[in-house]
Copies of this chain bind each other. A is one copy, B any other.
Amino acid sequence: MIKDKTIHHFLDDLASKSATPGGGSAAAIMGAMGAALVSMVCNLTIGKKNYESVEPEMKEILAKSESLRAQLMDMVRSDVEVFNKVMAAYGLPKETDEQKSARSQQIQSALQEATDVPIECAKACAEVIRLSRIVAEKGNRNVVSDAGVAVVAGHAALKSAALNVYVNVGSIKDEKFVSSRLAQLNGILNGMDVLNEEIFQSVKDKL
């Protein structure tokens, strides 16, 4: 399991010529780092005298960010699993017409499944960005730069997840499926570049 690897070992694997882990796992881990930083700001706000009024909200956000972190770490694993399914499908025999057709069906079905992971990752990262905004605004001012790193990490993970959707749909033949997934992704991405820039600027202004 990637999550049980040391950071050093994971980065060695990422850099190697093995196809997994790759950009998909990197995206989910960056998103999980963003979620963890949101949690950190909450943890450093809860119980502090000057922040009593926001304590209930911080507790709610903490529960959400910790759930998102767990979901994103699950995606690190599922990204590798679905990628391996795609590779296995490409490796199927293609000598007879029957084999060719079965192989092609398997590839298409694996690619569709593989598209769902980055879509879910993008959704979770958009949520990390939204939570970052609240902790940057209302959380402990002493760690507002960490809230800023949270949004930047969440946004990088979102953009990476988008690339992982684009690369998969590029090989999918079912046009309806492709346009539905791209529409879903566009809905998630909508306004996120601007929001990221706004939160970054507001954090910078507080430093």
- Which residues from chain A sit less than 8 Å from chain B, CB to CB? 2-8, 10-12, 14-17, 19, 22-23, 26-27, 29-30, 32-33, 35-37, 39-40, 43-44, 65-66, 69, 73, 76, 143-146, 148-150, 152-153, 155-156, 159-160, 163-164, 166-167, 170, 200, 203-204, 207
The CA of A5 and the CA of B163, in the complex, are separated in Å by: 29
Copy tally for this chain in the complex stands at 2
Please list 16 pairs of residues, one from A and one from B, whose beta carbons are closer than 8 Å in the complex, sorted by A's number: A7-B29, A7-B76, A8-B73, A11-B73, A17-B43, A19-B143, A22-B37, A22-B143, A22-B146, A22-B149, A23-B149, A26-B36, A30-B156, A148-B160, A152-B163, A163-B200
Q: Which residue of B lies closest to A8 (CB)?
A: B3
The residue on B at minimum CB distance from A147 is B23
